[in-house]
Structure 1
Amino acid sequence: MSPVIEQAVQARVVASSPDLETVPATLVYDRTDPFTVRMAFPPLATLEGTEVTWEFSRELLAAGMSAPAGLGDVRVRPFGYGRTVLEFHAPEGTAMVHLRSSELRRFLDRSRFLVPEGHEHLYLDLDQALTELLRDAY
């Protein structure tokens, strides 16, 4: 079984215009970084014209599907029936995207199959992390 899960999703970008623009995005979960979820937006979906990836905790994503969660750069909350809103805050501004909650639940279920909640620490390679941390100390 691959240690990485990738799932394509359609994100509906909330803008000042009445229409919502749909852009492709990819959710990524890597067993070697068990606490983290990544959401990547391709160049065509960003103002800079380069791929943008946001990192946030799997716990935040799961919590935000049933109640507002997050105080920092990434915030998650349920929205109406069947949608979840992810807010990405940066110095340049805030991006809000709507995702189907069913797609997020599927992604979270797949990640929990790979690494059960509460067992993330068993998948950390602390020796490797310590080696990388100390490598530049000498």
Structure 2
Amino acid sequence: MERLTTRITMRLMTGDERSRDLDVDWSYRDDEPHAAQLDFTSYQADAVWSLSRDLLLAGLHAPAGEGDVHVTPFDDARVLIALAGTEGVALLAAPAAAVAGFLAETVRLVPPGQEHDRIDWDGGLQALLAA
């Protein structure tokens, strides 16, 4: 298993003086090829979001997402990510170049369309049946 981890500083947009920068650990594992994790636990316990890699890739170029997660380019330098939870919606701005660089590394590990080759289907089925 290969794992990528990078820290990206994201701006929590609150519309007032409480807006602040958050250092968020982005990670990706080749054995979970459809998702990237954003780890906010240094700010709130158990705050790890698992986001679709395809959604993040699409959101770099055009608005994407349904339900709890939306990603959209904001300007030439930033991408916005909206995360809806029980406490409301967090709107975060991230440097588009940093997000694109992270996603390029995930594509290097697991090219789009080859995700199914990395999933342990037998192990997942055994875990499901054992539950």
Give the TM-score normalised by the residue count of structure 1: 0.90
Q: Find the counterpart in structure 2 of residue 79 from structure 1.
A: 74
* Per-residue Cα deviation, 1:99-130 (whole angstroms, up to 9, x for no partner): 00000111011001110111000000000000
Counterpart residue identity of residue 16, structure 2:
S
| 1:133 correspondence with 2:121 | no
| 1:103 correspondence with 2:98 | yes
CA distance in 2, matches of 1:100, 1:19: 20
CA distance in 1, matches of 2:41, 2:8: 12
Question: By how many angstroms is 1:80 displaced?
Answer: 1.3
CA distance in 2, matches of 1:51, 1:12: 20
Counterpart residue identity of residue 119, structure 2:
L
CA distance in 1, matches of 2:97, 2:11: 15
Question: By how many angstroms is 1:42 displaced?
Answer: 3.0
Kindly indicate whether the alpha-carbon contact (under 8 Å) linking 1:75 and 1:87 is maintained by their aligned counterparts in 2.
yes
User: Which aligned segments of 4 or more residues in structure 1 are displaced greater than 4 angstroms?
Assistant: none
Counterpart residue identity of residue 74, structure 2:
F
Q: Find the counterpart in structure 2 of residue 20 from structure 1.
A: 19
Question: By how many angstroms is 1:92 displaced?
Answer: 1.1
| 1:53 correspondence with 2:52 | no
Question: By how many angstroms is 1:94 displaced?
Answer: 0.3
Q: Find the counterpart in structure 1 of residue 9 from structure 2.
A: 10
* Alignment RMSD (CA, Å): 1.3
Say which SS state the counterpart of residue 70 (structure 1) adopts. Answer: strand
Say which SS state the counterpart of residue 64 (structure 2) adopts. Answer: coil
Question: How much identity, in percent, do the aligned residues show?
Answer: 29
> Which moved further from structure 2: 90-99 or 16-25?
16-25
Question: By how many angstroms is 1:51 displaced?
Answer: 4.2
Counterpart residue identity of residue 86, structure 1:
I
What number of residue pairs does the alignment pair up?
131
Say which SS state the counterpart of residue 32 (structure 2) adopts. Answer: coil
Structure 1 unaligned spans of 5+: none
Give the TM-score normalised by the residue count of structure 2: 0.94
Larger Rg over CA atoms:
1
